[in-house]
Amino acid sequence: NHTFSAISLLVILFIVILGFILAQPHNWSTEEGGFAPFGFSGVMAGTASCFYAFVGFDVIAASSEEAQNPRRSVPLAIAISLAIAAGAYILVSTVLTLMVPWHSLDPDSALADAFYRRGYRWAGFIVAAGSICAMNTVLLSLLFSLPRIVYAMAADGLFFQVFARVHPRTQVPVAGTLAFGLLTAFLALLLDLESLVQFLSLGTLLAYTFVATSIIVLRFQKSSPPSSPGPASPGPLTKQHSSFSDHLQLVGTTHASLPEPGELQPALKPYLGFLDGYSPGAVVTWALGVMLASAITIACVLVFGNSTLHLPHWGYILLLLLTSVVFLLSLLVLGAHQQQYREDLFQIPMVPLIPALSILLNICLMLKLSYLTWVRFSIWLLMG
């Protein structure tokens, strides 16, 4: 996997360097449609479609128990790999549209076609070789992370126990690797590329939305004692001191001097005393529900306000202001409550602001995908 990744990065570097040499700034002129011919809405639609490119970061979380110093290495690995992937996409998109006008590109093989149009047919073969290596890294990454996530679920009793077993010699979940490898191959066989890309983007966006919501829930939840290990034998995947899910959830013990997580902070009780009469976590639950509802409403107004909903301009502004105020108030209510902290593990900073913004952006991107993708996803979800 490292060899394939290195080849892919070298090919990307080759594309960027040669692309900038062949760049023609005229391709970004207003005569050719400008820098963003479809405006911000087009940028959002493109982002939603290619979000599958950021699906591999769960590999880092899935292998966090096998890290020697997860508190340092997990956030560092995520930040570095995210920067490399985003930077590579931005640079390749830049040189691609500077080499050839965007409207003349072949959607099925844009990079190879761009070099072919500029008279560098041999470069297309290098691009093809890099594409093959990149596809292999995606497949290998999937076969690494997904069985481990399924293993964690099975060890916690959330899935069939056969997936909680690891091979006695290699200490890896062989059953999960085989079952989900075959299922992935079956989906690739049935679906065309565009449908598969949108399907994967929707699943990734929804999963990241669940993660952001879970961070808020866990941060304001009273920490539970470490659960017992799964039924698998001890090994690299099953440490005796705690289960895999404890590391993923990043929950821990609270300081004795602090109030219980989910309670109103003592300094704010004189001002928000009317919220103090509820059980710990009850107000947080309601505030989180209101925040999710307002985030969905804001996203619907932003995406469909001028087209599908046919709102007048004043109605559009008024609805956007009202839902934004509700969204911000729910954030303030969440922030007024005590969070739990654990010093020995990495935790997301600026909670609940960062997860809330992540939820809002993810919902906006999901609504940019085609309705057929939502129909397919709903059927798949019901089957699950």
- Identify the pLDDT of residue 225: 56
Select the more confidently predicted residue: 259 or 226: 259
C-alpha torsion angle, residues 23, 25, 27, 31 (rounded to 10): -170
Asked whether the predicted pLDDT for residue 235 surpasses 60, the reply is no
Q: Are 163 and 154 in contact (CB under 8 A)?
A: yes
Token pair, residue 116, equals: 């072919």
- Identify the pLDDT of residue 103: 86
- Closest listed residue to residue 65, CA positions, set 74, 56, 78: 74
For residue 316, the surrounding DSSP H or E stretch is: helix 313-335
Q: For the chain, what percent of residues have pLDDT higher than 70?
A: 89
338 Ramachandran zone, left/alpha/beta (phi>0; psi -120 to 50)? beta
- Identify the pLDDT of residue 381: 86
Place of tokens 């880092």: 60
Q: Are 238 and 172 in contact (CB under 8 A)?
A: no
- Identify the pLDDT of residue 302: 87
Per DSSP, what are the bridge partners of residue 238? Answer: 235
**3 state DSSP class of 235:** strand
148 burial via Cβ count (<10 Å: 0-12, 13-18, 19+): buried
120: Cα within 13 Å, side-chain hemisphere: 17
- Domain residue limits, the chain: 257-383
Least confidently predicted of 9-13, 198-202, 267-271: 267-271
Q: Are 222 and 253 in contact (CB under 8 A)?
A: no
What confidence tier does 359 reach under pLDDT thresholds 50, 70, 90? Answer: very high
Asked whether the predicted pLDDT for residue 243 surpasses 70, the reply is no
Least confidently predicted of 154-168, 201-215, 309-323: 309-323
- Neighbour count for residue 158 (Cβ, 10 Å): 10
In the predicted model, what is the mean pLDDT of residues 18-36?
Answer: 87
Q: Which long-range contacts (CB under 8 A, 24 or more apart) does 374-377 make?
A: 374/202, 376/195, 376/199, 377/199, 377/202, 377/203, 377/206
How far is Cα 237 from Cα 178, in angstroms, rounded to an integer?
18
Least confidently predicted of 4-13, 21-30, 195-204, 250-259: 250-259
Q: Are 227 and 156 in contact (CB under 8 A)?
A: yes
**3 state DSSP class of 259:** coil
Residue 146: DSSP 8-state:
H
In the predicted model, what is the mean pLDDT of residues 343-357?
Answer: 85
* Amino acid residing at 341: Y
- Identify the pLDDT of residue 257: 58
Select the more confidently predicted residue: 255 or 140: 140
* Amino acid residing at 121: R
* Amino acid residing at 139: L
How far is Cα 379 from Cα 384, in angstroms, rounded to an integer?
9
Q: Are 312 and 223 in contact (CB under 8 A)?
A: no
Residue 313: DSSP 8-state:
H
